[in-house]
Amino acid sequence: MSQFSPLSSLPPDALLGLMTAYREDARAEKYDLGVGVYKDDNGHTPVLTAVSKAEARMLEVQTTKVYEGPRGNVDFCAAIEDFVFGAGAAARTEGRTLSFTAPGGCGALSLGVGLMRRIGVKKVWVSNPTWPNHPKVVQSAGLGTADYRYADPVTGTADRAAMIEDLSKAERGDGVIVQGPCHNPTGIDLTIEDWRALGAFTKERGLVVMLDVAYHGFAHGLDADIAGVRAFLDAAGEAMISYSCSKNFGLYRERAGCFLALGETPEGIAAASTHVADISRATWSMPPAHGAGIVATILGDAALRAEWEAELTSMRERMISLRRALSGELVQRTGSNLLASLTTQNGMFSQLPVAPEGAKQLRETSGLYMPGSGRINIAGLNMKDIPRVAEIIATVI
């Protein structure tokens, strides 16, 4: 008997299966709206020029590959604190913040869930729908999950009342994960008022919140996109934040992420810091350096930073134009006002009112790939295909 015989195989990952099926589809006309990464007009996920230049510079000056220490790249940590809390935030000088380099946004989420566990959190609330890795990370840490309603299916906007009604059932000390800009999979974001109300509500209810920022700069711009997070932090006074540089720096495979926290007291943050270091030590021992080094190099140099911001702006503007064009075509073909909300949604993803059978039909009859949830990656489109893509999608709406 094999030592592995207690294991039975898990079902295959649906999204990876979809990617393979797309690659193997021999039809000349096919469209991949299932992929979870940014693509340019040629269907390519580029290395940003600011990134290539930063890498070249790093190679020139690098003299060692020795471990950086438990927090990883401290310049990177400071730069992400600038983004999240603000350069002059009083909480930073008061010792009420912490930051650790982590392997991607997902590594940062794991640190946060690990810290929740040590705080005594038993159950973590996630939005319905959410990025499937949220419940996976929580459950892998041995915690339970529950979900809260997030989006209004009729208007295609956030439903704060439903969200708060569901979170009212949470017990004091429960955890909550809330996504920052460009909610995955709906593209539906909270307003500043929503953020403020949610911060006050979670504080009053004693909920332990982690904000997941994975698409900073993909919605309206660096400042505008973090305003909701700051409004939440102002109202709540405490929170954890996971930050990913995978999308906004195009550093998917480098695993550049940051785990941050804001606390009411420096003592609380100092203690939390020792626990984050301990969890990090027991999980990957030391965080990866390369991606964080690239980000620190870019953000620490005015010219590289300007170049990166311009590239980020062009990714964002491309997605906004595609949203407008797709929405216009779909509204015209289906008469559905819900599809007008594609233009008020943000980032790479939106969820179309397409049933799983509809998604299957699109794949089989028209070579258009999207998961059964109806989530589409706007960046997987290009302008010239939009009329045809809209024509195909309209057949199942």
Judged by the rule CB under 6 A, the positions of this chain that interact with ligand PLP are 36, 104-106, 131, 179, 184, 212, 214, 244, 246, 252, 257
User: At its nearest, how many Å lie between ligand PLP and the CB of residue 131?
Assistant: 4
Instruction: Select 184 or 373, whichever has its Cβ closest to ligand PLP.
Output: 184
| Separation of alpha carbons 392 and 397, rounded Å | 10
125 included as an active-site residue: no
Instruction: Select 104 or 199, whichever has its Cβ closest to ligand PLP.
Output: 104
Pick the catalytic residue from 50, 54, 235, 247: 247
284 included as an active-site residue: no
Q: Which amino acid is at 198?
A: L
214 included as an active-site residue: yes
Give the Cβ contact number of residue 63 at 10 Å.
5
Spatial CB neighbours of 13, under 8 Å, sequence gap ≥ 6: none
User: At its nearest, how many Å lie between ligand PLP and the CB of residue 253?
Assistant: 9
User: At its nearest, how many Å lie between ligand PLP and the CB of residue 195?
Assistant: 16
- Max CA distance (Å), the chain: 62
Torsion of CA 108, 113, 119, 121, to 10 degrees: 160
What is each CA distance from 390 to 26, 101, 327, in whole angstroms?
22, 42, 9
User: At its nearest, how many Å lie between ligand PLP and the CB of residue 101?
Assistant: 12
Are 125 and 176 spatial neighbours (Cβ–Cβ below 8 Å)? Answer: yes
Instruction: Select 109 or 330, whichever has its Cβ closest to ligand PLP.
Output: 109
Instruction: Select 296 or 331, whichever has its Cβ closest to ligand PLP.
Output: 296
| Separation of alpha carbons 344 and 148, rounded Å | 22
Instruction: Select 358 or 380, whichever has its Cβ closest to ligand PLP.
Output: 380
Q: Which of 173, 177, 166 is nearest to 133 (CA)?
A: 177
Which sign, positive or negative, has the C-alpha torsion 275, 248, 255, 301? negative
Q: Is 125 helix (H, G, I), strand (E, B) or coil?
A: strand
| Separation of alpha carbons 247 and 132, rounded Å | 17
Instruction: Select 214 or 359, whichever has its Cβ closest to ligand PLP.
Output: 214
Instruction: Select 315 or 330, whichever has its Cβ closest to ligand PLP.
Output: 315
Q: Which of 178, 174, 251 is nearest to 212 (CA)?
A: 178
Pick the catalytic residue from 131, 174, 379, 390: 131
Residue 101 has which token pair?
């380099």
Residue 143 has which token pair?
């915690």
User: At its nearest, how many Å lie between ligand PLP and the CB of residue 275?
Assistant: 21
212 included as an active-site residue: yes
Pick the catalytic residue from 159, 166, 194, 212: 212
Spatial CB neighbours of 364, under 8 Å, sequence gap ≥ 6: none
User: At its nearest, how many Å lie between ligand PLP and the CB of residue 255?
Assistant: 7
Pick the catalytic residue from 79, 197, 214, 390: 214
Spatial CB neighbours of 111, under 8 Å, sequence gap ≥ 6: 100, 102, 242, 259, 276, 279, 280, 283
Q: Which DSSP string corresponds to 303-322?
A: HHHHHHHHHHHHHHHHHHHH
User: At its nearest, how many Å lie between ligand PLP and the CB of residue 266?
Assistant: 29
Q: Which residues are catalytic?
A: 131, 212, 214, 247
